[in-house]
Structure 1
Amino acid sequence: MTPPTAPLPLTWLYVPGDRPEVVTKALASGADVVIVDLEDAVAPDRKAYARAATAELLSAPPPVPVHVRVNALDTPEAESDLKTLSPLSGLTALRLPKITSPDEVARVAERTAPAEGGAIPLYALLESALGVERAYDIAVAHPALRGIALGEADLRADLGACHERALDWPRSRVVVAARAAGLPSPAQSIYPDTKDLEGLASSSARGRALGFFGRAALHPRQLPVIERAYIPTPQEVESAEETLRAATTAPGAQALPDGRFIDPAVVAAAHRTLTLANRPIKH
């Protein structure tokens, strides 16, 4: 019997690697994935400590999946991160910042592959115009790559973007590239104002409309908002159930009384909606 497939993560919580006490709280926060950050969240003089603390954490499997965002690959710290973390049994995946080429992904995959075969799952963060422009090539760079995502703070700076709408095209580009490569729909980048929950809700709804699935967070208070934004509404559930009832009664393309047209793609979308609606709510 084939075991059921684990649901895709909806919430990804970033925590600084040099704050073990915060990491411990994050593991109990209800986030689907905890991302221990060794890069931007850690000051240069704390890098070695953050790496050692993270290695201690991952010496045994933690209670929830843990990804580690290593330092930029063109820095000396990155090599130390990869060497220290790759052998650890508690590591679920590595997140690679500022990726601009498929070769970078391939080199890390080869560098971190264990001797007995296989590879550590990798996620590429696209944080520049060049990274976005090469999104599909990066997404198919290596079988070890399990996902791509935007790093929007760096991308804004690179583009000189001063309005939210300026990021719609890069966002759509990354969503399309991921799906074209057979990867899961990417999670949204973080919403930087951890106290603006209304803004987070609105932004997450926009991200869902663009094709993202779930979102990264900076604070546990953001997790329930993200979860609610990505779980189907009662109206969406009702519509999906009506679609499936109609498809069962009269298979094939048809129109519902309200004018909606049903075809296999619509039926598939209805199944996805109900699967997501049945997902356990954590917050």
Structure 2
Amino acid sequence: MSSDRPKLRSLLFVPGNKVEWLAKAEAAGADAAVLDLEDAVPESGKAAARERVAEAVANASGTMAIFVRINPLDRWAAAEDLRAVARPGLAGVLLPKTRGPEDVVLADRMLTWCEREHGMPEGRVALVPLLESAAALRGAYEIGRAAPRVAYLGAVTGKGGDVERAVGYRWSPSGTETLELRSRVLLDVRAAGVPCPVAGLWTAIGDLDGLRAFAEQNRSLGYEGMLAIHPSHVPVINEVFSPAPRSWTATPGWSPPWRRRRRAARARSCSRARWWTRRWPPAPAPRCATTLPRGSRGLTDPRLTGGGQWESAPGASSSTRKPPD
């Protein structure tokens, strides 16, 4: 099931208590929306937000995929979140504060129970562990291999986030301080066979040029998408992670369709000509005047008679013959 996951260029966070903003996310062109039940919802409003998110998942009918970020597994709220939202219409679950492979195994079992309860195929809901600690970042390979449903795994290195506090680097717009970290996590994710790795996160809402540079850097590393926190970021991210149009002049051995059709027609024509020649060989060439015996009537080749004069019948003198009147 994991290999069948669609590629997602942009995954836009939407507060779990603002499900009406899903329309804005879809209008922005987001490939997926992440309804957040963790950081975006205060403790007093989590129960109400959970009900609204479950209703939004059940009514999902558009082309935009719906994900849900649940609460951490060390709280009972995580089980309540999964029981409420794991139903047809849910594309995936973001698992925050992942500590190691054991968290992935536990979440995978809980999702399997929910899928059976709702008559869904096992493994249909994707699981996206969030690597927010030094231990989780170091164990990205083991986390990626802990369950077949793991997908969209990657390094999320936003300014002021959990990763910055856990590792202790000083964030900069160029991203040089996290370049090696993002590269190593991506290598572990690829080695684990996890499909469609995504990165993140750009928190400067108005700096679209910085967002583009950061997205292009992630794309160059090998990531296939990014998490986003504002609808204005979605068009830039989609543009960066969309496949570039291929140029036939830059691909060795490739030719445009019109050239291939012309070559095929030429090959068919040559094949028919060879078939015709084999079936009906050409007739032998007629004997020309140069092959006539010496002294025969008519014109002969001057090279055979030694001159270029008219020849007469045998016994006549060529010097006394006159042309006809």
For the residue of structure 2 that corresponds to 1:200, the secondary structure is: helix
Query: Which residue number in structure 1 is paired with residue 28 of structure 2?
Result: 29
Query: Which residue number in structure 2 is paired with residue 41 of structure 1?
Result: 40
CA contact (8 A) 1:185 1:211 kept: no
Shift of 1:185: 4.0
Query: Which residue number in structure 1 is paired with residue 170 of structure 2?
Result: 162
Shift of 1:6: 7.8
What count of residue pairs does the alignment treat as equivalent? 239
- The yes-or-no answer on 1:142 pairing with 2:141 is no
Within a 5 Å distance, the mapping from 1:103-142 to structure 2 comes to 103-113=102-112, 114-115=115-116, 118-119=122-123, 120-142=125-147
CA contact (8 A) 2:215 2:237 kept: yes
**Residue by residue, what CA displacement relative to the aligned partner does 1:168-216 show, whole Å, maximum 9, x if unpaired?**
1221122111211222241121200111101101111111121111211
Shift of 1:98: 1.6
For the residue of structure 2 that corresponds to 1:91, the secondary structure is: coil
TM-score calculated relative to the size of structure 1: 0.78
CA contact (8 A) 2:70 2:81 kept: yes
Distance 1:101-1:21 versus aligned 2 partners, 3 A rule: same
CA contact (8 A) 1:109 1:122 kept: yes
CA contact (8 A) 2:212 2:236 kept: yes
Distance 1:209 1:100 in 2: 28
Within a 5 Å distance, the mapping from 1:1-283 to structure 2 comes to 8-63=7-62, 64-86=64-86, 88-113=87-112, 114-115=115-116, 118-119=122-123, 120-152=125-157, 153-163=161-171, 164-231=175-242, 237-238=246-247, 241-244=248-251, 246-248=252-254
Structure 1 unaligned regions, length at least 5? 250-283
**Residue by residue, what CA displacement relative to the aligned partner does 1:97-116 show, whole Å, maximum 9, x if unpaired?**
12121111111111111225
For the residue of structure 2 that corresponds to 1:212, the secondary structure is: coil
Amino acid at match of 2:36: D
Distance 1:20-1:61 versus aligned 2 partners, 3 A rule: closer
Distance 1:130 1:220 in 2: 32
Distance 1:16 1:77 in 2: 17
TM-score calculated relative to the size of structure 2: 0.69
Distance 2:85 2:215 in 1: 32
Distance 1:21-1:78 versus aligned 2 partners, 3 A rule: same
